[in-house]
Amino acid sequence: MRILLSNDDGYHAKGLKKLADSLQSIVDLQVVVPESNCSGVSNSLTLNRPLNVHINSDGFMILNGTPTDCVHLSLTGLLDKKPDLVISGINNGANMGNDVLYSGTVAAAREAYVLGVPAIAFSLVGKGWNHIDSAVRIASIFVKSYIDCGIDSLFLLNINIPDVSLSAIKGISVTKLGKRLPSKNMIKSYNPYGDPVYWIGQLGPSVDDIEGTDFHAISKNHISVTLLEIDSYVNADISFLKEWVSKIDI
42-47: Cβ within 8 A, 24+ apart = 42/68, 42/101, 42/102, 42/103, 42/104, 42/107, 43/68, 43/107, 43/110, 43/111, 44/68, 44/107, 45/69, 45/72
Residue 8 annotated as lining a ligand binding site: yes
Taking the domains of the chain in order of start, what are their residue ranges?
Answer: 2-179+206-246
Q: Is 39 annotated as a binding residue?
A: yes
DSSP, res 210: -
Look at residues 195, 166, 202 and name the one whose alpha carbon lies nearest to residue 181. Answer: 202
Q: Among 85, 155, 96, which Cα is nearest to 124's?
A: 96
Q: What does DSSP assign to residue 126?
A: S
pLDDT in single tens digits along all 250 residues of the chain: 999 999 999 999 999 999 999 999 999 999 999 999 999 899 999 999 999 999 999 999 999 999 999 999 999 999 999 999 999 999 999 999 999 999 999 999 999 999 999 999 999 998 889 999 999 999 999 999 999 999 999 999 999 999 999 999 999 999 999 988 888 899 999 999 999 999 988 877 777 778 999 999 999 999 999 999 987 776 778 888 888 899 898 8
**Contact (Cβ atoms closer than 8 angstroms) between residue 49 and residue 21:** no
Q: Which CATH superfamily hosts domain 2-179+206-246? A: Survival protein SurE-like phosphatase/nucleotidase (3.40.1210.10)
